Amino acid sequence: MRARMAGVTAIYFVACIAMGQGLQGDAMRNDGVELDNSKKHPVIFAAFAETEEQLYHTLVLVESIRTFAGSMKDAPVWVFTYVFRGTPLLVQTYLIYYGLGQFEWVRESVLWEPILSKAWWCALIAFSLNTAAYTTELLRGSIMTTSKGEVEAAKACGLGKWMRLRRIILPSSFRRALPAYSNEVIFMLHGSVVASTITIQDLLGVGRWLNGRYYLAYEGFITAAVFYLIIVLLISRGFRIWEKHWLKWPGKSLRSHHLLIQHTLIGKSVI
């Protein structure tokens, strides 16, 4: 936005200079004495001032329309990520499980009986939308940090927009986003305890059931914590192996990626 407004300002000043050049010739008498153009041409200068103001407002209006039209393309994604990252997962789960049933048209839809009336499906929908919003921001940041040298090299080699996205930008972005995505998977595992609040018996739900039935607070909750630690350990190990495979330098995957780019440039298809 700042760059666009700087461009508008530059165009505005260039236009002002161009319009003022027509009056510069009359600024000097034959004897070389400078005259006041505002007194010599009051009507012309009044028209010039009015035209100058209209030109500036027109340029600002055009640039505002262009900025608004460009931002409208990103508005749905921005609203989705802002809402699901700005509200708690518990609230989202309650709104889907308890809130949708208040609408008659939802209860009469074909999705009510098999999906929306079941706690398991409602929890799955809430968790999927929540983690999708966070993953979207992770990938966006990873794509934005793609090296400009890689993109410029792909352009110099003649790769089109979609080919650059498929062969250069996305593979590089996925590698950089992999460590952060492993944290998101672990956070979503910890957030799955919300499912116990809508009649789903997860690990925490079983621990609460043992505490309420047999008054085994430590046994139930500590056992659930141990199971969570084991699952997190397995997820961390799995992502560690994945990161070693994709992020090693130099490595087989990197050489394969370079060979894939070379075959793409010469028009061959590689599976």
Q: Are residues 226 and 271 in the same domain?
A: yes
- Find, among 123, 271, 129, the residue nearest to 205 by Cα: 123
Q: Are residues 177 and 77 in the same domain?
A: no
Which of 86, 108, 129 lies at the terminal end of a domain, its last residue?
A: 86
At 230-243, the pLDDT tens digits run 999 999 999 998 88
Across the range 216-239, mean pLDDT stands at 91
Token pair of 131 as six digits: 């983690």
Range of the structural domain that residue 39 is part of: 1-86
Across the range 25-31, mean pLDDT stands at 41
234 located within any domain: yes
93 located within any domain: no
Q: Are residues 140 and 263 in the same domain?
A: yes
Q: Are residues 169 and 257 in the same domain?
A: yes
Q: What is the pLDDT of residue 62?
A: 47
Between 170 and 49, the more confident residue is 170
The pTM is what? 0.65
Q: Are residues 206 and 255 in the same domain?
A: yes
Q: Are residues 135 and 64 in the same domain?
A: no
Question: What is the CATH number for 130?
Answer: 1.10.3720.10
Across the range 30-34, mean pLDDT stands at 43
Phi, then psi, of 146 in degrees rounded to 5: -65, 135
**Among 98-107, 169-178, 185-194, 220-229, which is the least confidently predicted range?**
169-178
Which of 86, 111, 137 lies at the terminal end of a domain, its last residue?
A: 86
Across the range 128-145, mean pLDDT stands at 90
Q: What is the pLDDT of residue 266?
A: 53
* Residue 117 clears pLDDT 70, i.e. is over it: yes
* Residue 189 clears pLDDT 70, i.e. is over it: yes
27 located within any domain: yes
191 located within any domain: yes
* Residue 44 clears pLDDT 50, i.e. is over it: no
95 located within any domain: no
Q: Are residues 63 and 126 in the same domain?
A: no
Q: Are residues 207 and 270 in the same domain?
A: yes
Q: Are residues 252 and 127 in the same domain?
A: yes
Across the range 32-61, mean pLDDT stands at 47
In this structure, which amino acid lies at residue 240?
Answer: R
Grade residue 105 by pLDDT with cuts at 50, 70 and 90: very high
The number of domains in the chain is 2
- Find, among 53, 264, 257, the residue nearest to 61 by Cα: 53
Q: Are residues 225 and 172 in the same domain?
A: yes
Q: How many angstroms separate the CA atoms of 163 and 169, rounded?
A: 9
107 located within any domain: no
Across the range 186-215, mean pLDDT stands at 88
At 58-85, the pLDDT tens digits run 444 544 454 455 556 778 888 999 999 9
